[in-house]
Chains A and B, each alone.
Chain A
Amino acid sequence: MKRALLAVFFIGLLAVSGLAQTYDVASDTTWPPFEWADAEGNLLGFDLDVMRCIAALQGFEINIISYDWDIIFDDVGIGRADIGASGATITDDRELKVDFSDPYWSSDQAILIRADSGLNIVTALSLGYTVGAQVETTGAGFIQGLIDAGVSVILVEYTLYPLAVLDLINGNIHAVIQDEPASVASATAEEELAIAGIIKTNEDFGFFVAEGDPNGLLPLINAGVAQLKTLGVYENLRLAYMGPGILAVEAAWKASIGLLDAGNVVDFAQSLADLANQ
């Protein structure tokens, strides 16, 4: 009896593994609108849905895992997770640890301040004020670059972006630097905050895998991104996530995700964009 059960178990295991390869996708899910958890704990966001659509089109399964930003490149680099999808700018330093896909998003940095502080983008970054950033982000790198060049500004780094924003509201720091869409989300949510200005850094976001791409995923991801653009899916995901606001897109996502589960990538993105922008 025991042996029979064991046999059934192994046959089941083989059947499951034979269906489609499942890859672990690491994402720091504390960064709307690119990745976050809704009120029921569902993980959604621009990056995650782009990745889900690529997986559906290219015929592999993904399992999204909430990761801490400060270990995400290390862990994908050593193969603890297979793919990184976390609004990561492609930089030379990171290329040492991981391999990036083709760019799928272009971003600039924004400076977030308290609306009543009277600072502007120049004064906030040059008169000895304190600027917060998430650790090991390109925003933090930008401020460090200013410091190295002799500009009078102080950098404070946080493990979580929301804690930097909280410190800004509490008056412990004078500004926060980070990517534009996330800054817009913060300024929309908090009346006290405003965007002092945009720094045109022209950064490219890429998905990333371990050095040398051991699972052969980059060609699939690159082909997938290209497919999403020709199908109009990419544009619909952009319309859904960049603008309408978190509650609107969460409701739209819940109503639409069934379409993606059924493999209908195009209708999913269309429905998401339509419902979110109603």
Chain B
Amino acid sequence: MATIWQSLELLIVKGLPTTILLTLGLLGTGLLLGFIIAFAQVYGYRPLRWFCRGYEQLFRGIPALVLILILHSGLARSFNILLPAFTSALIALGLRSSAYQSQIFRGAIQSVSQGQMMAARALGMSKIQAIRYIILPQAFRLSIPPWTNEFSSVLKDTSLASAIGVLELTKQGTLIFTRIQFVMGVKYILVILILVAFVYLVLTYAGNAALGFLENRLRIPGFEMKGKVER
């Protein structure tokens, strides 16, 4: 039993910080790039729209693990670009997440009705002002629920970084069960894997709860949201 607690402690001390750092890095990269792409896809000139559409299709169409391997092993071997494992994972998964997030923001922007833009222009606002003060505040609120979903999937995607040796939760778990099987028996591999799963579960739950709280706080009662929101 002591060993199990020790293993959990080791997961939290040595694996968790990297997982959290990578998750935050990915969400940040994805948020920034995704927002720019969504904006360009909705309001950009045609060639820019084509480019963004290609980008989004490309990075949504390649499995995350393949993307990581291309960046970490492929580029290194062929072009001698030696990125550290953490950086490779951050870039590969960040590009992937930006493509997904761009679609969240695009959908949110486009779900604000055209009439509002026209009304704002009729009131004398410039296009930029209308986007800034009318469209985005609504789109931002609308994008929180799907963004919560993206958070959950990005968090668990970080486990793929273990494939190139990033010492995060999953990889730390394999190091622990390697030892545990010699000390307590091979059946304890299951116990360690459940511990790893438990840590991800708690993280996902905590993140979703925080984003749910944000969603609730920013809600404008009675405004345009037709479904009943229960919290």
Residues of A within 8 A of B (CB): 29-32, 36-41, 65-68, 71, 74-75, 78-80, 160, 162, 165-166, 169, 185-186, 189-190, 246-247
20 other A-B residue contacts (CB within 8 Å) besides A65-B165, A189-B182, A247-B183: A29-B175, A31-B178, A36-B175, A36-B182, A37-B175, A37-B176, A39-B3, A39-B179, A40-B10, A66-B167, A67-B165, A68-B165, A74-B77, A78-B77, A78-B82, A79-B82, A80-B84, A162-B189, A185-B182, A246-B182
A78 touches B185 (CB 8 A): no
Other-chain contact of A66, B77, B163, B171, B179 (Cβ < 8 Å): B171
Contacts of B172 in A (CB 8 A): 41
5 contacts between A and B (CB under 8 A): A39-B7, A39-B10, A40-B10, A78-B76, A169-B187
Shortest Cβ distance from B162 into A: residue: A68
Q: Give the complex CA separation of A19 and B186 in angstroms.
A: 44
Prevailing SS type, chain A contact patch = mixed
Encode contact with A along B77-110: 1 for CB under 8 Å, 0 otherwise. 1001010100000000000000000000000000
Within 8 A of A (CB), among B145-191: 163-165, 167, 171-172, 174-179, 181-183, 185-187, 189
B46 on interface, CB distance cutoff 8 Å: no
B76 touches A80 (CB 8 A): yes
Most buried by A among B13, B14, B76: B76
Residues of B within 8 A of A (CB): 3, 6-7, 10, 13-14, 73, 76-77, 80, 82, 84, 163-165, 167, 171-172, 174-179, 181-183, 185-187, 189
Other-chain contact of B181, A29, A41, A78, A162 (Cβ < 8 Å): A162
Contacts of A37 in B (CB 8 A): 175-176, 178-179
A66 touches B14 (CB 8 A): no
Contacts of B73 in A (CB 8 A): 71, 74
A190 touches B186 (CB 8 A): yes
Other-chain contact of B10, A32, A41, A71 (Cβ < 8 Å): A41
Contacts of A166 in B (CB 8 A): 181, 186, 189
A68 touches B163 (CB 8 A): yes
Q: Give the complex CA separation of A138 and B186 in angstroms.
A: 24
Q: Give the complex CA separation of A37 and B3 in angstroms.
A: 14
Contacts of B76 in A (CB 8 A): 74-75, 78, 80
Q: Give the complex CA separation of A169 and B14 in angstroms.
A: 30
Q: Give the complex CA separation of A141 and B14 in angstroms.
A: 35
B189 touches A186 (CB 8 A): no
B175 touches A189 (CB 8 A): no
Other-chain contact of A39, B6, B84, B186, B189 (Cβ < 8 Å): B6
CB distance from B5 to the nearest CB of A (A): 10
Q: Give the complex CA separation of A78 and B76 in angstroms.
A: 7
Shortest Cβ distance from A190 into B: residue: B186
Q: Give the complex CA separation of A166 and B174 in angstroms.
A: 13
Other-chain contact of B179, A38, A65, A80 (Cβ < 8 Å): A38
Contacts of B14 in A (CB 8 A): 41
Q: Give the complex CA separation of A254 and B179 in angstroms.
A: 16
Q: Give the complex CA separation of A81 and B189 in angstroms.
A: 29
Shortest Cβ distance from B76 into A: residue: A78
Contacts of A80 in B (CB 8 A): 76, 82, 84
Other-chain contact of A162, B3, B77, B171, B178 (Cβ < 8 Å): B178
Q: Give the complex CA separation of A68 and B6 in angstroms.
A: 24
B181 touches A189 (CB 8 A): yes
Contacts of B3 in A (CB 8 A): 39
Contacts of B181 in A (CB 8 A): 162, 165-166, 189
A189 touches B178 (CB 8 A): no
Shortest Cβ distance from A80 into B: residue: B82
Q: Give the complex CA separation of A190 and B80 in angstroms.
A: 44
Q: Give the complex CA separation of A37 and B177 in angstroms.
A: 10
Shortest Cβ distance from A169 into B: residue: B186
